[in-house]
Structure 1
Amino acid sequence: MNVFDKIASNWDEEPARVALAHGVASAIAENVPLNNSMKALEYGCGTGLVTLEIARRVREVLAADASEGMLSVLKEKIARFGVKNIFPLFTDLTKTGPLDGGFDLIYTSMTLHHILDFAGMLKTFRCMLMPGGFMAIADLDLEDGSFHRNGAPIPAHNGFDRSEILTIMGSLGLKDLKAVTAHEMRRAAPDGSVRVYPVFLIVGVLA
């Protein structure tokens, strides 16, 4: 059991997480021309907060995660809401490498900073994209490590410099790159102040 399995059942109870997912899903919809012919993949789908919104706008979503606990919650939602076009998959792409089958859209939200070889993961995403397909990466801007205090799962990276992600995606052949702020998370600091943590969305298309 990994750390995300242990917190999966209560994951959706934090309003800030729900707001973040809505912000990311909205930013994807605003910056990617979603349509009902698209086959999409979300890696690190968690309980499906983002994917449940994206699935309304595409043909199907393969919702992949390395946490069986998170996927269990997603499967309950799929059954409860009668969703027909989300297909959960338990997998760890850091170990398996690319999946078979091309995707028109690959997106991930707040997952990349938990992956040590994030550049390798972006390359894996690139290998699974169809020509003309979109990659959409949402994650934390570079921060001082305070975001994951208070018992949150320890990350591999304290966010990212947007320019680094843009450079890597460009080197993989993605074009028309753009970066926007998808959401801003606010958390109380030990001194009583409120810290703001921007979450970016970077989008590119495979020429």
Structure 2
Amino acid sequence: MGNTDKFEMIANIYDTPERIQIAKVSSDAIGEYVVDAKSKSAIDFGCGTGLVGMNLLNEFNSMLFLDSSPNMINQIKQKISDFNIRHADTLCFDFEMEGLEDLRADYIIMAQVLLHIQDYEFVLSRLFDVLNEGGHLLIVDFDKNEKVVSDFVHNGFHQYELSDSVAKIGYKNIQSKTFYTGSKIFMGQDASMFILNAQK
């Protein structure tokens, strides 16, 4: 997946206080859209070290932490082992390169992942196939930010454009809102974050 090599290098120092705090506000925002999911399965897609998914473990029957970086997956494996978590699993896999036929989930969470994916519409359409009927895609990412200039990531997203993209794929009941604004949280720039909820 996008920028895997960079994440490989920072996996063991990834959990900074700033990232932990952003993960907390992100998982709180996601939690608002997770209702009666104790019997449901979830995928933390592009999970990194699992900061967001770990906060949401108790909401679901099972959680699969999926990332394309082996070092990131090793970090989350260690957490699952340390905390003796029974209903979580890991998968190292790159959705940009290949499809996974038998993977299914009721919820797919993508927290600050989309900005790293070059052809994100392609990946979102693959995730549509993974979702069970009635399942939810929950995207947390940065609002479009012209001050961010990078060759490696998108500089955020316009919510209406992203809503149009997921609608074209077939998602419905699409809602989005800005839920957080922070200082220097996006490539050293002040930025706001949104959540988008879409259903299959």
- 8 Å CA contact 2:30, 2:195 repeated in 1: yes
- 8 Å CA contact 1:38, 1:104 repeated in 2: yes
Q: Which runs of 5+ in 2 are unaligned?
A: none
Distance 1:62 1:99 in 2: 15
How far did residue 87 of structure 1 move? 0.6
TM norm structure 1: 0.88
Select 1:201's aligned residue among 190, 195, 199: 195
Distance 1:49 1:180 in 2: 22
Distance 1:147 1:69 in 2: 27
Q: Which residue of 2 aligns with 1:11?
A: 14
- 8 Å CA contact 1:16, 1:185 repeated in 2: no
Distance 1:125 1:60, change over 3 A: same
SS of the equivalent of 2:85 reads coil
Distance 1:158 1:114 in 2: 10
Residue identity opposite 2:12 in structure 1: S
SS of the equivalent of 1:156 reads coil
Q: Which residue of 1 aligns with 2:128?
A: 126
Residue identity opposite 1:81 in structure 2: F
Q: Which residue of 1 aligns with 2:181?
A: 184
How do residues 6-155 of structure 1 correspond to structure 2 at under 5 angstroms?
6-12=9-15, 14-144=16-146, 146=148, 155=152
How far did residue 196 of structure 1 move? 2.3
Identity of aligned pairs, percent?
A: 28
| Count of equivalent residues | 196
Distance 2:63 2:30 in 1: 14
SS of the equivalent of 2:118 reads coil
TM norm structure 2: 0.90
Distance 2:197 2:11 in 1: 28
Residue identity opposite 1:31 in structure 2: Y
Q: Please give the root-mean-square deviation of Cα atoms over the aligned residues, in Å.
A: 2.0
